[in-house]
Amino acid sequence: MPVRTHYPVQRNVRFFTLGVQHDTLLNHYKTTFTLMQDYHWAWSDIQDMIPFERDIYLILLRQWVEEHKKG
């Protein structure tokens, strides 16, 4: 039978807190609002993302917008 390993919750919270230190609360709300209004993303989908996943999608979205502005 496999042994379950329990990870301390505090360690995970600290990791994700470090992951969002570059983002202000105001910027977070503005970005979320823009994603919902301009790109029709669901609020629940945005909120369910882990911080670095959200950053990756924003980078990809910026690249996509720049490519469509050029072409």
Alpha-carbon torsion 7, 8, 12, 14, what sign? Answer: negative
What is the pLDDT at residue 35?
94
pTM of the model: 0.63
- Cα gap 21→52, rounded to integer Å: 11
Retrieve residue 68's tokens: 């469509």
Residue 7 has pLDDT above 80, yes or no: no
- φ and ψ at 35, to 5 degrees? -60, -40
What is the pLDDT at residue 6?
56
- Cα gap 46→65, rounded to integer Å: 19
Domain of residue 54: give its range: 22-70
Q: How many domains does the chain have?
A: 1
Query: pLDDT of 23-65, one tens digit each?
Result: 788 888 999 999 999 999 999 999 999 878 988 999 999 999 9
Residue 15 has pLDDT above 60, yes or no: no
In a domain, residue 1? The reply is no
In a domain, residue 10? The reply is no
